[in-house]
Structures are given as C-alpha cells and as structure tokens.
C-alpha cells in the first residue's frame, strides 16, 4: 500500500498545514502543480482557500482541469477540502458562468441562514450516508470557514451535514472520491483521524 499522497498546488491551498497533517499521520506528501505527477498519483488531495472563479482560472492556467477530470473518473482515492470540494460541482453562485469540474451534478450556493456569514468555527457533524473515511466522526466537531455550500442534485452523495440555522452540506462522496467542506487539517485530533483514514485507503 502506498502512503504517498499528491497535494495539488494551484496557488490557493492551505498547503503547509495539509502537508504537515499528512506527515503527522504517517503519509508522505508531494506538493506539485505538474500535470504528469498529478495524473499518475495513487492518492490525490485538492485543497483550497479563496474564491471559486479564481480557483478554476488557476487550474485552467496550469493545465489541470482535464487532468483532474480524468483522475476523478478513474475512481482512485481523492480528497477535496473546502474550495477543493466546491469545484467538484458544476458551478457556483459565487462566480456565475464559471464552470466547475462537473464531477458532481449540482451547484454551490450561498448559505441561507439568519446566522452570521461566513460560517466560521467549530460545528458538529451529522453523518448522512456511508463514507469510507467518516465512520468514526459521528457527532464530532470539525472546523469550518465558508459562506457557500454545495447543493447536489442527488442528495444521496451527501455523507455529512451540520446545522447552522439551516442544514449545511459538510461532506460529499462517491466511492473513493470524497470531499469535505470543513478543514480536517484544522480540526485537531478528529481531523487527523480522517486524514489517516484517507492515507490508508486502498484503491
């Protein structure tokens, strides 16, 4: 089993924290924007902090849109984090007209709540459907920073939600392709446990 994890560098990720967290759970991280390395990765993490439109623009500029779409189609272990989860969808209200990677059908929309936006800080996970890496996180608190969340066409891909005056999509998944709206690398022991599960996923 390979414990090497490739982290996609497109200029907008929390790379140092993710790299440090992967190392802490026994993984070996490779940070790169090289399409060939990304294409041939055994496990891939797409992190992200910032705006949907900028993210897609940077991925296109680096020649990574098709590479990531091919990788996702292969079904190999993939983890999207925060913005890296949002770009798996077809588009976002944050950037009208900008196409996402389109792996999941549906859009990313502004959280409609009376609570303060952005949704920032610790919130409790409510598991919704099976994920190979989330089973031990039931009822645990993880760390969020976001104003938009995914609204999938097929609600069965939602693996966890949280309550923020409304139901917020906390994670989604399909097979070994998993994605978190929250930041596991900032979620203390629970987050490290989730990353360890990802590192140990077998293709």
Active site residues: 82, 183, 185
Residue 135 DSSP class: G
The structure tokens 């077998």 sit at 202
C-alpha to C-alpha distance for 191 and 178, rounded to whole angstroms: 14
Neighbours of 94 (CB within 10 A): 18
Closest by CA to 198, choosing from 91, 84, 31, 80, is 80
Cα 63 versus chain centre, distance: 20
């Amino acid at each position: 089993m390979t414990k090497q994890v490739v982290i996609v560098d497109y200029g907008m990720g929390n790379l140092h924290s993710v790299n440090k967290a992967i190392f802490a759970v026994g993984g070996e991280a490779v940070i790169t924007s090289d399409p060939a390395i990304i294409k041939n990765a055994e496990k891939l993490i797409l992190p992200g902090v910032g705006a949907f439109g900028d993210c897609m623009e940077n991925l296109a500029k680096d020649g990574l849109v098709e590479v990531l779409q091919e990788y996702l189609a292969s079904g190999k272990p993939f983890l999207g984090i925060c913005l890296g989860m949002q770009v798996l969808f077809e588009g976002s209200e944050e950037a009208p007209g900008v196409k996402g990677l389109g792996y999941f059908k549906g859009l990313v929309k502004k959280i409609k709540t009376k609570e303060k936006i952005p949704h920032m800080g610790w919130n409790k996970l409510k598991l919704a459907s099976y994920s190979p890496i989330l089973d031990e996180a039931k009822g645990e608190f993880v760390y969020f920073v976001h104003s938009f969340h995914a609204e999938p066409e097929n609600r069965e891909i939602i693996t966890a939600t949280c309550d923020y005056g409304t139901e917020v999509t906390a994670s989604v998944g399909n097979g070994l392709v998993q994605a978190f709206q929250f930041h596991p690398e900032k979620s203390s022991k629970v987050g490290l446990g989730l990353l360890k599960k990802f590192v140990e996923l077998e293709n």
